[in-house]
Amino acid sequence: MTRPSQHGATADGEGPPPIAGDVSSFPSDAELARTLAAGADRATLCTLTADGYPYGSAISFSLDDDGSTVFLMSEMAEHTVNANGEPKASLLIAADPTPGADPLSAARLTLVGRLAKLADPGVSRDRYLERHAYAAYYADYTDFAFWRLTVERCRYIGGFGHMSWVTADQYRDAGVDPLVAAVDGITAHMNDDHADANLTFVQRLADLPEATAATMVGVDRYGMTFQVVTPERPRLARVAFPDPLTHADQAEHAVIGLLRSLRDT
Amino acid sequence: MTRPSQHGATADGEGPPPIAGDVSSFPSDAELARTLAAGADRATLCTLTADGYPYGSAISFSLDDDGSTVFLMSEMAEHTVNANGEPKASLLIAADPTPGADPLSAARLTLVGRLAKLADPGVSRDRYLERHAYAAYYADYTDFAFWRLTVERCRYIGGFGHMSWVTADQYRDAGVDPLVAAVDGITAHMNDDHADANLTFVQRLADLPEATAATMVGVDRYGMTFQVVTPERPRLARVAFPDPLTHADQAEHAVIGLLRSLRDT
């Protein structure tokens, strides 16, 4: 779900060529952030020690409907001791980097806000245990409690040169991409079995008639992203769906429909 | 390189059985911490924002000989802005969790200390670019600089119930385990081809004559760790090498020698 950088200009003025096709069809950073958070279940919690050091610890989390994150914390853990003293905190959620690539080219997200212990965790507890079934056996110990990080602002970094601050409202209101769990399957299927369709898309819909090969590297409700081979240089290209998808099941139909519309013309 | 928990007692007094065999042969937490740091190259850096929030960001790092961590930071990155205001920081280094297991059972480490920009990075720069070759093309941009986190204290968590504070001196002076890069190969080889040897070790050297199967789950300079099947319940077991190894190449000889000494008696 990474949006490729369009802003990779380097200090000496060089940079990658612009992305071909309909770049306005990329999801917003708020949508990318919500989607990245929804696809992850562990992260780094940053709290403040009594002597003023920001302190990072590994933590599992789940998401409430508004995108705030929920944790099951032991009273004895350092981050709980810290949070009892100072509620200001942040959570870094990072996508797994592509093996061999610079890890800093992978998407990540920092949710900045305040931690509060939940007196009555209710549905947040259910969500957490749905996601982390192994935690059921210690969830009710008296020295464990559910906590929530209420998001006040959010830093989204899509990769080199692609980053922005997202407000709490933008983050809360953005929808999780319905294709999030289907991306790997769709891209593998298109690249393994329909390389000809990928090439048709970028030749016809991304203004790259000279392209000789195209690999799908991303797909979301708004469209598809391709890594393209052209005689001159490698390019990234974006092809929009005619209408945003609302469910992953619609992807196959949308792709076939788009292909037919091209072959009929 | 995770030392299994010996302290998994739960709030209601239940807990796993103690580890069989020579538990005194486990590496120290300082050694486990240095070894975990040496095997990783990306982590979460925690810095402090101007308005007092601990802020987590994804970062790549390399290690100096004394175990302090080195970063290549853009002046424009949030963590650099933060570090210019407040040098107190920490770095969370986490081992990849076993798929399907509770992520909190995996080893991790928080290095707490202070960040300083290096006026003359020297060998630290070389080490960094050895580890992160893709960074060579931006390492010399004027808005990038090398920084070091000098470790003041260190929190090591080996898994549930296994955790301790390690002092800066203990961390600095502990050696990286010489087997760190060979662990996966050795355990796979022993489990695939020498299951009978694994079983002999735990039956004869870990006081588990009733064991029916043993899987090697860890190995380090001081010994081997096994997950053992017994008629009553699963057990962990530890078997020490007669002498600590100083190089991964010695592992095969040590294992065969230990096995022969048992079969000859």
Task: State yes or no: pLDDT of B5 exceeds 90.
Answer: no
Please state whether A159 falls in left (phi above 0), alpha (psi between -120 and 50) or beta: left
User: Percentage of residues in chain B with pLDDT exceeding 90?
Assistant: 82
Task: Indicate the pLDDT class of residue A5, thresholds 50, 70 and 90.
Answer: very low
Q: Check if A44 contacts B (Cβ < 8 Å).
A: yes
Comparing CA positions, the residue from B221, B225, B167 lying closest to residue B33 is B167
ipTM of the complex model: 0.88
Distance (Å, rounded) from C-alpha B193 to C-alpha A30? 51
Distance (Å, rounded) from C-alpha A169 to C-alpha A166? 8
Chain B hits for A10, CB-CB cut-off 8 Å, are: 137-138, 141
- Average pLDDT rounded to a whole number, residues A89-95: 96
Chain A 62-121, residues with CB within 8 Å of chain B CB atoms:
78, 88-92, 94, 97, 101-104, 106, 108, 110, 112
Instruction: Name the β-bridge partners of A228.
Output: A214, A235
- Measured in angstroms, the CA of A212 and the nearest CA of chain B are apart by 27
Dihedral sign, Cα of residue B96, residue A71, residue B5, residue B30 = positive
Task: State yes or no: pLDDT of A101 exceeds 70.
Answer: yes
Using CA atoms, how far residue B130 sits from B123, B142, B248, in Å, is: 10, 20, 22
Q: Which pTM was predicted?
A: 0.89
- Cβ within 8 Å, pair A91-B60: no
Task: Indicate the pLDDT class of residue A14, thresholds 50, 70 and 90.
Answer: low
Task: State yes or no: pLDDT of B97 exceeds 60.
Answer: yes
Tokens (6 digits) for B14: 């239940």
Q: What is the DSSP letter of B106?
A: S
- Average pLDDT rounded to a whole number, residues B101-117: 92
- pLDDT on residue A10: 40
| Residues in Cβ contact with A87 at an 8 Å cutoff, skipping those fewer than 6 apart | A114, A115, A116
Task: State yes or no: pLDDT of B8 exceeds 50.
Answer: no
- Cβ within 8 Å, pair A58-B94: yes
Distance (Å, rounded) from C-alpha A2 to C-alpha A19? 14
- pLDDT on residue A15: 61
Chain B hits for A59, CB-CB cut-off 8 Å, are: 104
Task: State yes or no: pLDDT of A230 exceeds 80.
Answer: yes
Residues A43-66, buried b or exposed e (16+ Cβ, 10 A)?
A: bbbbbbbeeebbbbbbbbbbbbee
Query: Considering all CA atoms of chain B, what is the largest pairwise distance in Å, rounded to the nearest integer?
Result: 69
Comparing CA positions, the residue from A154, A157, A67 lying closest to residue B59 is A157
